[in-house]
Amino acid sequence: MPGTDLAGGGDRATAHRRRARHTDGVPTRRPAFAADPATATYYDQRANEYDDWYTGEGRFASDARPGWNDELQRIISMLRQLPPAHTLDVACGTGFLSRHLPGRVLGIDQSPAMVAIARSRLPHGHAVVGDALHLGVLDGAFDRVFTGHFYGHLPSDERATFLAEVHRVARQLIVVDSALRPGVAAQAWQARILNDGSRHTVYKRYLTGPELAREIQGEMTLEGRWFIAAQAAW
């Protein structure tokens, strides 16, 4: 898939990233995501309202996100045009993106509530509760690993573990995540509030398309204002 720069910016301003790291850097709490019990609780509680982030409903209805829907449709179109493959979707969430992956799909997520929703969306696949950092499958069991809005949450130690597991179980990786943009810290513990009023903190990183491609040792396939994507094969 050829690289597409939806924002027309290519490799984004390094000065902005450095400034974000300096002024908005991660607090003293050690970064964690996939191995953080509080984060697991948050996402399980969020399952029934998770899709609101994609669709611009609920708490996101009043957010100004120009071009969001067009970029989201580009992501969906990109996934639909992939060659059919036996795919493992790691941190599949509700299956919002998983359902557009061609071929047999197995979704894995640590949240039982997310998995229950994903199962209803995968008529030609399945979803199970599991650990994204310790994939309980055989070596080479899949053609492809896909992950959407998971990789960008991982601190360095969890990224290394995740990528090692991906290389063990598949021959290709496709990552969709959130784009670094002006006014957003490159990395931080973010405050999150759910519809029930409960408050949570979640570790999050934002990357440019070229940065994501370099980290997974692949190539950028999409860079927009809101979304980025990259793929790697070995």
Closest CA to 101 of 153, 140, 143: 143
| 9 is a domain residue | no
At 164-193, the pLDDT tens digits run 999 999 999 999 999 999 999 999 999 999
| 191 is a domain residue | yes
At 18-50, the pLDDT tens digits run 333 333 444 557 888 998 899 999 999 999 999
Packed helices 37-46 and 112-121: angle between N→C axes, nearest 10 degrees = 40
CATH code at 170?
A: 3.40.50.150
Question: Are the C-beta atoms of 187 and 206 separated by less than 8 Å?
Answer: yes
User: Could you list the pLDDT tens digit for every one of the 234 residues in the chain?
Assistant: 434 333 444 444 443 443 333 334 445 578 889 988 999 999 999 999 999 999 999 999 999 999 999 999 999 999 999 999 999 999 999 999 999 999 999 999 999 999 999 999 997 899 999 999 999 999 999 999 999 999 999 999 999 999 999 999 999 999 999 999 999 999 999 999 999 999 999 999 999 999 999 999 999 999 999 999 999 999
| 103 is a domain residue | yes
Burial class (CB in 10 A: 0-12, 13-18, 19+), 114: buried
| 193 is a domain residue | yes
| 210 is a domain residue | yes
DSSP conformation letters of 64-105 = --TTHHHHHHHHHHHHHTSPP--EEEET-TTSTTGGGS-S-E
Percent of the chain with pLDDT strictly greater than 70: 88
| 4 is a domain residue | no
Print the domain residue range for 139.
14-233
d(CA 107, CA 48): 17
Q: How many domains does the chain have?
A: 1
Record the pTM. Answer: 0.88
SS3 139: coil
